[in-house]
C-alpha cells in the first residue's frame, strides 16, 4: 500500500477530494446550523435538483465522523494557510527525506481514507442487519439503511428517485419509518418508455421542484437549473476524460492500483459531489490537469503490457482489494459504473430548451438505455462501455441479495463471448473483507488467461 500512498500524495486534487469526503460531518454541520441550509439525503447520483434548490445534498454515510481524519484535518488546516498544492509538495518533500515517523503518517493517509470508508460501510451494513433489514437487500442498500438509522434524523429531506430495482425502491419506502422528520420527496420514473413517459417524469420533476422550494424557501428558476446543469456537465466531462482518455492511455500518471483507487474515490463521491458541486467540479478539473501534466513529464508508469480489466458493477458494493490483487497479477482494473448506467450523460442547457424537461429526458434516458428497463438493455450498456474502454477482460460482481442487476450475468457473458471475444468471470460478493482468499484464487485463474 505504501507505493499507492506515495504516488497518490502528489495529486493534491485527490488529497482534497478525500479530505472533503471524510470531513463531511463538520462541513454539513456548518451548513445546517450556521448557514441554515437544508440537508437533503441522496444516493446513486440524483443530487441535481437539491443543488439547484440551494440545498445541500448528502450521501448519508458522510454524516458520520471518520476517526482517522485527524491527519487529513491537520492537512486541511495547513492547506487553508499554505494552499493544497503546497501541502502536497511539502508531503512529497518530507517523504523523500525519509523521515520515518512523518513518512509513516503520510503513508497512512490515503490507506486510512479507503480503509476508514470501508470500515464504516461494514459498520453500517451490520447496523442494517441488526435492525432486521430485508435479506433481499444488497450490501449497498443494507449499508444505506444503517446510515439512515444512525444519522438520518439530521436530514431535512430525502430525495427519492425510483429506478428499475424494486429493492432500491423498497429501501426508499422504508425511510419514512426509519426517521419520521425528514420530508420524503419523490420523483417517480415509469419503468418503461411507454407513450407519455417523458410527460409523466417532467410532471414528477416539477412536483419535486415545488417541494424543494417549500423546503428551502428558495425559488428554483430555469436559469438556476441551467447553471447547476452546466456545473454537473463539467463534472461529467472530466469524469469521462479520466475513464476513457486517461485510462485508455499506455502511460499512466501513477501506478494502476493508485489509478483504480482514484476511480473508486470518484465513484463514491460522484453521488453527492461531496456536498459542494462547484468545489467538486474544480477539483476534478484540477485532477485531469494534474494527470495530464504528469503524463506529459513522463511521471508515472508504462502500462502498455498490462491488460485492461473492466470491473463492474461496484456501486452496490464490491471488494475494494480487487484492484490491488489485479495489479499484483499484472493487470489494471477500471471502474466506470456511472457511465454504464448513463448517469454521466450531459444535460442540454441551451436557453430555448426547457431545463425541467431536459432533466426528465436525462432520467428517462438513464432508465431506458442505461440502468435499463430489462437485462437486455443493461447488458448492452455493459458491452458499450467495455468496447469504448477497449477492455481486455471483464469482471462482474454478483451481489448477494441483488435480484435485479446480478442476474443479468449469464446474458452478459454470452454477449461478451459473442461480440467482444474477451475473457469474463463473475465474483460473488456479500460483505467487504469476506472471502478475500477465495477471490484471490478466482482472480489468479482469470488473470492466467492473459499470459
Ligand atoms: S445492486 Fe442490485 S439490489 Fe442493490 S440497488 Fe443495485 S440493482 Fe438493487
Q: What is each CA distance from 72 to 84, 285, 426, in whole angstroms?
A: 11, 21, 36
| DSSP H or E segment with residue 191 | none
Decide if 249 contacts 295 (C-beta within 8 A): yes
Mutate to test the pocket of ligand 1, among 173, 343, 405, 409 (most ligand atoms within 8 A of CB): 405
Determine if ligand 1 sits within 6 Å of the CB of residue 24.
no
Quick check: 105 pLDDT over 60? no
Q: How high is the pLDDT of residue 405?
A: 85
Determine if ligand 1 sits within 6 Å of the CB of residue 404.
yes
369, 262, 243: which is closest to 310 by C-alpha? 243
Q: How far apart are CA 138 and CA 163, in angstroms?
A: 15
Decide if 113 contacts 264 (C-beta within 8 A): no
Domains of the chain by residue range: 2-448
User: Could you tell me which residues come within 8 angstroms of residue 355 by beta carbon, excluding any fewer than 6 positions away?
Assistant: 222, 225, 226, 229, 347, 349
pLDDT band for 403, please (50, 70, 90 cuts). confident
List of long-range contacts for 65-69, beta carbons under 8 Å, 24+ apart: 65/25, 66/22, 66/23, 66/25, 66/116, 66/117, 66/120, 67/116, 68/22, 68/108, 68/112, 68/113, 68/115, 68/116, 69/19, 69/22, 69/23, 69/116
Q: How high is the pLDDT of residue 235?
A: 98
* Cα 195 to ligand 1 centre (Å): 27
Determine if ligand 1 sits within 6 Å of the CB of residue 140.
yes
Q: How high is the pLDDT of residue 94?
A: 59
Q: Average the pLDDT over each of 87-91, 150-154, 291-295, 361-365 and give the range with the smallest value.
A: 87-91
Q: How high is the pLDDT of residue 375?
A: 87
pTM here is 0.92
Q: Which of 66-80, 94-108, 293-307 has the highest mean pLDDT?
A: 293-307
Q: How far apart are CA 260 and CA 268, in angstroms?
A: 12
Q: What residues pair up with 39 in beta bridges, in sequence order?
A: 56
Q: How high is the pLDDT of residue 389?
A: 96
Name the pairing type of β-strands 56-58 and 183-187. unpaired
What would you measure as the largest C-alpha separation in the chain, in angstroms? 67
User: Could you tell me which residues come within 8 angstroms of residue 128 by beta carbon, excluding any fewer than 6 positions away?
Assistant: 137, 141, 142, 143, 144, 145, 146, 149
Quick check: 419 pLDDT over 80? yes
Mutate to test the pocket of ligand 1, among 135, 143, 165, 431 (most ligand atoms within 8 A of CB): 165
Q: What are the residue ranges of helices labelled H in 131-218? A: 139-151, 166-178, 197-216
Q: What are the phi and psi torsion angles at 139 (to 5°)?
A: -55, -50
Determine if ligand 1 sits within 6 Å of the CB of residue 341.
no
Decide if 313 contacts 340 (C-beta within 8 A): yes
Quick check: 432 pLDDT over 80? yes
Q: How high is the pLDDT of residue 348?
A: 98
User: Could you tell me which residues come within 8 angstroms of residue 51 by beta carbon, excluding any fewer than 6 positions away?
Assistant: 57, 228, 231, 232, 273, 277
pLDDT band for 22, please (50, 70, 90 cuts). confident
Q: How far apart are CA 132 and CA 351, in angstroms?
A: 49
The arithmetic mean of pLDDT across residues 418-444, rounded, is: 95
Up-side HSE of residue 302: CA atoms within 13 Å toward CB?
2
Q: How high is the pLDDT of residue 3?
A: 44
Q: How high is the pLDDT of residue 157?
A: 98
Q: How far apart are CA 446 and CA 386, in angstroms?
A: 17
Going by the DSSP 8-state scheme, the letter that residue 60 receives in this structure is G
pLDDT band for 8, please (50, 70, 90 cuts). low
Q: How far apart are CA 423 and CA 442, in angstroms?
A: 13
Q: What is each CA distance from 433 to 82, 318, 333, in whole angstroms?
A: 38, 10, 18
pLDDT band for 2, please (50, 70, 90 cuts). very low
Q: How far apart are CA 300 and CA 251, in angstroms?
A: 7
Determine if ligand 1 sits within 6 Å of the CB of residue 405.
yes
* Cα 108 to ligand 1 centre (Å): 32
| pLDDT, tens only, 362-375 | 999 998 888 766 88
Give the residue whose CA is nearest to atom 5 of ligand 1. 168
| Positive/negative CA dihedral, 22, 23, 27, 32 | positive
Per the prediction, the chain carries an average pLDDT of: 89
Decide if 143 contacts 125 (C-beta within 8 A): yes
C-alpha cell recorded at residue 252: 499512466
Q: What is each CA distance from 300 to 81, 110, 173, 256, 323, in whole angstroms?
A: 29, 18, 47, 9, 17
| pLDDT, tens only, 334-369 | 999 999 999 999 999 999 999 999 999 999 999 888
Amino acid at each position: 500500500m505504501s507505493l499507492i500512498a506515495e504516488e497518490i500524495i502528489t495529486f493534491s486534487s485527490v488529497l482534497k477530494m478525500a479530505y472533503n469526503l471524510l470531513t463531511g460531518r463538520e462541513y454539513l454541520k456548518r451548513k445546517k446550523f450556521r448557514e441554515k441550509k437544508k440537508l437533503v439525503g441522496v444516493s446513486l447520483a440524483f443530487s441535481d435538483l437539491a443543488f439547484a434548490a440551494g440545498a445541500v445534498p448528502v450521501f448519508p454515510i458522510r454524516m458520520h465522523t471518520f476517526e482517522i481524519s485527524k491527519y487529513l484535518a491537520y492537512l486541511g488546516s495547513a492547506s487553508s494557510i499554505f494552499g493544497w498544492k503546497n501541502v502536497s509538495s511539502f508531503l512529497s518533500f518530507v517523504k523523500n527525506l525519509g523521515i520515518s515517523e512523518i513518512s509513516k503518517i503520510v503513508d497512512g493517509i490515503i490507506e486510512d481514507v479507503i480503509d476508514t470508508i470501508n470500515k464504516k460501510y461494514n459498520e453500517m451494513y451490520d447496523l442494517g442487519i441488526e435492525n432486521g433489514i430485508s435479506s433481499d437487500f444488497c450490501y449497498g442498500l443494507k449499508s444505506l439503511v444503517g446510515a439512515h438509522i444512525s444519522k438520518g434524523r439530521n436530514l431535512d429531506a430525502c430525495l427519492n428517485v425510483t429506478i428499475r430495482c424494486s429493492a432500491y425502491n423498497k429501501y426508499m419506502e422504508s425511510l419514512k419509518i426509519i426517521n419520521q422528520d425528514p420530508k420524503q420527496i419523490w420523483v417517480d420514473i415509469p419503468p418503461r418508455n411507454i407513450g407519455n413517459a417523458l410527460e409523466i417524469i417532467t410532471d414528477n420533476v416539477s412536483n419535486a421542484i415545488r417541494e424543494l422550494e417549500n423546503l428551502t424557501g428558495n425559488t428554483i428558476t430555469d436559469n438556476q437549473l441551467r447553471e447547476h446543469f452546466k456545473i454537473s456537465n463539467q463534472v461529467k466531462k472530466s469524469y469521462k476524460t479520466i475513464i476513457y482518455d486517461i485510462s485508455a492511455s499506455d502511460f499512466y500518471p501513477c501506478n494502476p492500483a493508485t489509478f483504480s483507487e482514484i476511480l473508486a474515490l470518484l465513484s463514491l463521491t460522484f453521488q453527492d459531489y461531496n456536498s459542494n458541486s462547484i468545489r467538486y467540479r474544480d477539483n476534478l478539473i484540477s485532477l485531469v490537469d494534474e494527470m495530464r501534466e504528469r503524463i506529459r513529464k513522463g511521471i508515472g508508469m508504462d502500462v502498455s503490457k498490462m491488460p485492461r480489466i473492466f470491473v463492474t458493477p461496484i456501486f452496490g458494493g464490491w471488494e475494494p482489494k480487487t484492484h490491488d490483487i489485479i495489479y499484483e497479477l499484472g493487470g489494471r482494473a477500471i471502474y466506470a459504473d456511472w457511465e454504464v448506467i448513463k448517469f454521466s450523460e450531459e444535460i442540454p442547457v441551451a436557453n430555448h430548451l426547457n431545463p425541467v424537461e431536459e432533466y426528465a429526458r436525462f432520467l428517462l434516458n438513464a432508465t431506458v438505455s442505461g440502468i435499463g428497463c430489462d437485462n437486455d438493455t443493461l447488458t448492452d450498456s455493459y458491452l458499450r462501455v467495455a468496447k469504448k474502454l477497449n477492455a481486455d477482460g471483464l469482471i462482474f460482481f454478483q451481489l448477494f441479495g441483488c435480484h435485479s442487476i446480478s442476474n443479468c450475468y449469464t446474458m452478459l457473458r454470452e454477449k461478451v463471448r459473442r461480440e467482444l471475444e474477451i475473457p469474463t468471470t463473475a465474483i460473488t460478493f456479500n460483505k467487504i473483507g469476506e472471502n478475500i482468499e477465495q477471490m484471490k484464487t478466482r482472480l489468479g485463474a482469470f488473470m492466467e488467461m492473459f499470459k
